[in-house]
């Protein structure tokens, strides 16, 4: 792409190399991993932009209602987006948060939108998308699902679950790299009806007519906004070539096997760590989290020893499992390093307490 397309074709590559259609082409490949039909997913922009688009459209569908329900395990950026949109609309909307286990109790006929992240970014707890979507629809609620920790980690079934909107990033389990583009899904019955709140150039019905007035594109195309990040999309396409060789059910089974082994080994050797994730692998995503009061320092000690997880305030040590390139021996080595750091209190070093910007 860099040498032959951008290096030689320059802007003619938009046509010759198919860059202009890349967001839809790659979107269809993502669709096959998240249980969606072709033509219902498009790539581009960041996850937060896609959350904004979906939530704004969902609120317009239920224009007479004013309540957005989410849970306190949702990723803060999604909640910030909702708060900012509420302030901008200034029509009396309210964001109501509940415990992840209590979502169903918060659903009522006054709720406009249910906005959830399928897998809790802290603990890995997995929501039942199909059941919650059905209960929401029974009360006339539009659903918005964030798949940031689901896509590429476990089987997702958007169409059969009846989800209205979904979105996710590609740089985690889909391996597009830092800053990789996000995707958005809109149910086929809604795609031609919604008004795209971000009326961008490439979401226009005919971008190169250069009309001064906006006309939305057909279906999911209207959810495109700006120029697609071709370098990142090309990296993602290379990753998806690998996904073409894998069955998501096999990936899921291996993920549970590896994470169950990890929990067993860590709990045997580290009594100071408390499991924060569901013990039943079917109830969590492809991550395992432990609580520890000095979790940040302990994680820095582990990173220095080649076990790279991350820390989520106030006390979560989070470890991701990607069965495409992690095996049981990797898990055993990681658990051994964790045992050493904890048993010998290697984390208790002032250098490990110095907080970096990214934790």
Nearest to 184 by CA among 327, 27, 306: 27
Catalytic residue among 78, 120, 146, 164: 146
Structure tokens at 61: 């569908």
Could you tell me which residues come within 8 angstroms of residue 180 by beta carbon, excluding any fewer than 6 positions away? 169, 170, 171, 174, 229, 232, 235, 236
Strand order in the sheet with 67-71: 41-43, 183-186, 165-168, 142-146, 111-117, 67-71, 94-98
Whether 80 is a known active-site residue: answer no
If phi over 0 gives left and psi between -120 and 50 gives alpha, with beta otherwise, what is residue 121?
A: alpha
- The answer to whether 292 and 338 have CB atoms below 8 angstroms apart is no
Whether 172 is a known active-site residue: answer yes
Separation between Cα atoms, residue 94 and residue 69, nearest integer Å: 8
What does the pLDDT read at residue 359?
87
Separation between Cα atoms, residue 257 and residue 259, nearest integer Å: 6
Write down the residue that tokens 């086929």 correspond to.
Answer: 188
What does the pLDDT read at residue 320?
96
Catalytic residue among 122, 125, 172, 284: 172
Catalytic residue among 171, 185, 296, 319: 171
What does the pLDDT read at residue 74?
96
Q: How many CA atoms are closer than 13 Å to the CA of 125, on its beta-carbon side?
A: 16
- The answer to whether 84 and 56 have CB atoms below 8 angstroms apart is no
> Which stretches of the chain score pLDDT less than 70?
none
Catalytic residue among 165, 318, 321, 352: 318
Q: pTM for this structure?
A: 0.96
Separation between Cα atoms, residue 236 and residue 225, nearest integer Å: 19
Separation between Cα atoms, residue 251 and residue 78, nearest integer Å: 27
Whether 135 is a known active-site residue: answer no
Nearest to 172 by CA among 152, 201, 155, 190: 152
Q: How many CB atoms lie within 10 A of CB 271?
A: 9
Q: How many CB atoms lie within 10 A of CB 46?
A: 15
Catalytic residue among 75, 290, 296, 321: 75
Q: Which domains does the chain have, with CATH numbers?
A: 2-243 (3.40.640.10), 248-353 (3.90.1150.10)
Q: pLDDT tens across 226-281, in order?
A: 999 999 999 999 999 999 999 999 999 999 999 999 999 999 999 999 999 999 99
Whether 139 is a known active-site residue: answer no
- The answer to whether 94 and 66 have CB atoms below 8 angstroms apart is yes
Whether 214 is a known active-site residue: answer no
């Amino acid at each position: 792409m860099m040498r032959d397309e951008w290096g030689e074709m320059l802007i003619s590559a938009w046509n010759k190399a198919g860059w202009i259609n890349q967001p839809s082409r790659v979107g269809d490949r993502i669709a096959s991993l998240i249980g969606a039909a072709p033509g219902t997913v498009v790539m581009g922009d960041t996850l937060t932009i896609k959350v904004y688009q979906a939530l704004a459209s969902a609120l317009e569908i239920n224009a007479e209602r004013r309540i957005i329900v989410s849970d306190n395990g949702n990723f803060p950026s999604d909640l910030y987006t909702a708060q900012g949109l509420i302030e901008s609309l200034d029509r009396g909307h309210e964001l109501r948060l509940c415990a992840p286990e209590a979502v169903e109790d918060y659903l009522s006929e006054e709720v406009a939108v249910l906005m959830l992240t399928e897998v809790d970014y802290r603990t890995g707890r997995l929501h039942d998308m199909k059941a919650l979507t059905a209960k929401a629809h029974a009360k006339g609620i539009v659903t918005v699902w964030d798949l940031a920790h689901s896509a590429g980690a476990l089987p997702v079934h958007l169409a059969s679950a009846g989800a209205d909107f979904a979105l996710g990033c590609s740089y985690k389990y889909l391996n597009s790299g830092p800053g990789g583009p996000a995707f958005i899904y809109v149910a086929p019955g809604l795609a031609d009806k919604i008004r795209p709140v971000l009326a961008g150039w490439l979401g226009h019905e005919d971008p190169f007519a250069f009309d001064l007035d906006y006309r939305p594109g057909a279906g999911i195309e209207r959810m495109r906004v700006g120029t697609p990040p071709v370098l990142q999309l090309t990296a993602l396409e290379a990753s998806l070539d690998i996904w073409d060789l894998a069955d998501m059910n096999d990936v899921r089974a291996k993920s549970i096997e590896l994470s169950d082994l990890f929990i067993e080994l860590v709990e045997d050797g580290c009594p100071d760590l408390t499991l924060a994730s569901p013990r039943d692998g079917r109830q969590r995503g492809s991550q395992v989290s432990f609580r520890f009061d000095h979790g940040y320092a302990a994680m820095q000690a582990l990173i220095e020893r080649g076990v790279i997880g991350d820390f989520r305030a106030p006390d979560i040590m989070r470890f991701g499992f990607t069965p495409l390139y992690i095996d049981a021996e990797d898990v055993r080595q990681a658990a051994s390093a964790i045992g050493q750091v904890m048993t010998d209190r290697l984390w208790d070093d002032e250098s490990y307490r110095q907080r970096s910007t990214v934790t």
